[in-house]
Structure formats: structure tokens, C-alpha cells
Amino acid sequence: MRDFLDALILWRLCWTLSWLDIKVRYRGSLLGPFWLTLSTAVMVGSMGFLYAELFHMDLHEYLPFLALSIVLWNFLSGVVAEACISFTAAEGMIRSVRMPFVMYGARVVVRNVVILAHNVVVIVVVDVLLKVVPGHVAWLAIPGFLLWLVVGLALSVSLGSICARFRDISPIIASIMQMAFFISGVIWQPSQLGSSQYLLLYDPFYTLLEIVRGPLLGQVPSLAIYASALISAVVVCVLSVLVFARTRNRIAFWV
């Protein structure tokens, strides 16, 4: 708890380091982070026409769904992937300066929020071109996104700790996220499952994605989806606290 409070006090430093990470990553690049925006737009455009034909769906209905799904999934998968190296990537700083470890996890989350802000342009352009207006329901995405931030921070400190000790965990997590991309209703609409759609309630990736994606598509997620997402978040947070409390004093030696 003290580590978390100390990180909260240093929120300006966390923001500065996150912004610096993005500037260093795209140093010398003409478009900077907008290269990700451009690649996401190309991906959405190419997959939209292809899968709309394969799934026999109306392009005007499927393309906004796909654009939103890809952008939001890129944020989730980016947080999980970088959570695995949240401490090992900051090896030099951890060994040189005494700072709260939670700040390194928050640095991962903030950095990916900034990247998400760049990619939101893709969603806006698609919605404007196809005249999609989610309405007042879109405000329901805010509490869902705040829950994402909490889960992202929890994963950053727990996965960061575990992967600092066991370096084989990171590729395993990457494989799990790749499988989840295909089975969690990212590129296909849940309604295509028909009567088996209830099975998605047992998929934490789907329910966490849907509490933000649904409102932005003008749909109110069911109470079952909210309950499943909240349960998943609580489980992740509790496990993360237990893991972090157990490993916190050893992280500096593992990196």
C-alpha cells in the first residue's frame, strides 16, 4: 500500500517517463506514433472488406465493429505484453534509483493510453464516413475503461514480477493473447454464435472488451457481462496484490 501511495505522489514523473518512452521509441520517425495509427487503419480496411465477405455481413455494420474491436484489443494486448517486461525494461533505473515499483507498472499503462489516443483517430474516421452515432450510451464506456486501467496496473506489477523471475513466462503470455484474439469475439461478432453465445460469459477477455466496446457501438452490455468482467477484475487484482506482496523485495535482485 505504501508503494502504491508513493507512486501516486510521483504521477508527474510517471507521465514524463511514459511520454519519453514514446518519443525515444519513434525518434527519427517522420510520423512518430501515427505509424501505428496508419498500420491499424490499413489492417481495419483490408480485414473489413475480407471478413465482411466471408461472414456475409453488411460492410456498413461490420466495419465500425471491427475498427473499434481492433483498436481496443491493441490497447489490451499492448498492456499485457508490456506488463511482462515492466521491470526488466527498467533494469537500469531500478538498480540506480530508489522508486516505488508500482510506478513502473503505471508507466506501462499510461504509455499505452497515449498510444490508444493516437489510434482513436481510426475509430472516429470510420464512424464519420459511415455516419455511426453511438448516442448517450457511449458514456457507459467510461467506467469500463477505468476498470481496464485498474486491471492493467494490477497485471503490470504481478506479471512484471513473475516474468522478472521466470523469463519463459513472457512468450507463454504472448501465445495466450494470440489465441484470445481469435476466440474472444474480436474479429467476429458474438451474435454469430447463436444460442451458444452464453459461452462467451466465461471468457474474461470478451467480457472486459465488451464493457467498453458495447457502449461505443450504441449497445448496453447485459448485467451478466458486467458481472463476469467485474469478477475477472477482482480475481486479477487480488492475485496481483498477493504476488506483488510476495515478490516486491526481490525484484531488484531478479532484474
Q: Write down the domain spans for the chain.
A: 2-254
CA pair distance 142, 167, nearest whole angstrom = 35
Q: Which grid coordinates belong to 68? A: 473499434
* H helices, E strands: number in the chain: 11, 0
Task: Spell out the residues 6+ positions from residue 251 whose beta carbon is closer than 8 angstroms to its own.
Answer: 87, 94, 101, 160, 161, 164
Look at residue 30 in the predicted model and tell me its pLDDT. Answer: 66
Per-residue pLDDT tens listing for the chain (255 residues):
888 888 888 888 888 888 888 888 777 666 666 777 888 888 888 888 888 887 778 888 888 898 999 999 999 999 999 999 988 988 888 888 888 889 999 999 999 999 898 888 888 888 888 888 888 888 999 999 999 999 999 999 999 999 999 988 989 999 999 999 988 888 888 888 878 888 889 989 999 999 999 999 888 999 999 999 999 999 999 999 999 999 988 888 888
Q: Quote the pLDDT of residue 32.
A: 67
- The rounded Cα 155 to chain-centroid distance in angstroms is 11
User: Quick one: pLDDT at residue 139?
Assistant: 92
Structure confidence at residue 177 (pLDDT): 92
pLDDT at residue 29 in the model: 67
HSE of 238, CA atoms in CB hemisphere, 13 A? 6
Q: What is the pTM (predicted TM-score) of this model?
A: 0.89
Query: Which residue is associated with the grid cell 451478466?
Result: 224
Tell me the C-alpha distance between 57 and 39, whole Å: 24
Question: Quick one: pLDDT at residue 128?
Answer: 86
Q: How far apart are CA 134 and CA 214, in angstroms?
A: 9
Largest CA distance in the chain: 57
pLDDT for residue 157: 92
pLDDT score of 40: 83
